[in-house]
Amino acid sequence: MKKIRVDHIYSGDCISIMNKEIAKESIDLVYADPPYNLSGKSLSLVNNTTGGPFYKMNEDWDTWDYDDYVAFTEKWIKACWEVLKPTGSLYISCTYHNIGELIVAARKLGFKMKNIITWYKTNAMPCLTRRVFTHATEYVCWFVKGKKWIYNYEDLKKLNPQRTKEGSLKQMRDFLSFVELPIVQGRERLRSKNGRAFHPTQKPEKLIEIIITASSNEGDIVLDPFFGTGTTGVVAERMKRKWIGIEKKQEYAKEAGKRIKKLLCQDLILS
Domain boundaries, the chain: 8-36+63-270
Of the listed ranges 49-53, 133-137, 149-153, 192-196, the least confidently predicted one is: 49-53
Per-residue confidence at 125, pLDDT binned at 50, 70, 90?
A: confident
CA distance 72 to 49: 39
Of the listed ranges 59-68, 144-153, 198-207, the least confidently predicted one is: 59-68
User: What pLDDT, on a 0 to 100 scale, did the predictor assign at position 60?
Assistant: 62
User: What pLDDT, on a 0 to 100 scale, did the predictor assign at position 147?
Assistant: 96
223 near 10, Cβ under 8 Å? no
206 near 181, Cβ under 8 Å? yes
Long-range contacts from 257-262, C-beta under 8 angstroms, 24+ separation:
257/9, 257/230, 259/190, 259/229, 259/230, 259/233, 259/234, 260/230, 260/233, 260/234
Of the listed ranges 5-19, 99-113, 130-144, 168-182, the least confidently predicted one is: 168-182
Amino acid present at 37:
N
What single-letter DSSP state applies at residue 53?
A: -
Q: State yes or no: pLDDT of 173 exceeds 70.
A: no
Q: How many helices (H) and strands (E) does the chain have?
A: 7, 10
Q: State yes or no: pLDDT of 64 exceeds 80.
A: no
pTM attached to this predicted model = 0.87
CA distance 86 to 47: 51
The domain 8-36+63-270 having CATH identifier 3.40.50.150: the answer here is yes
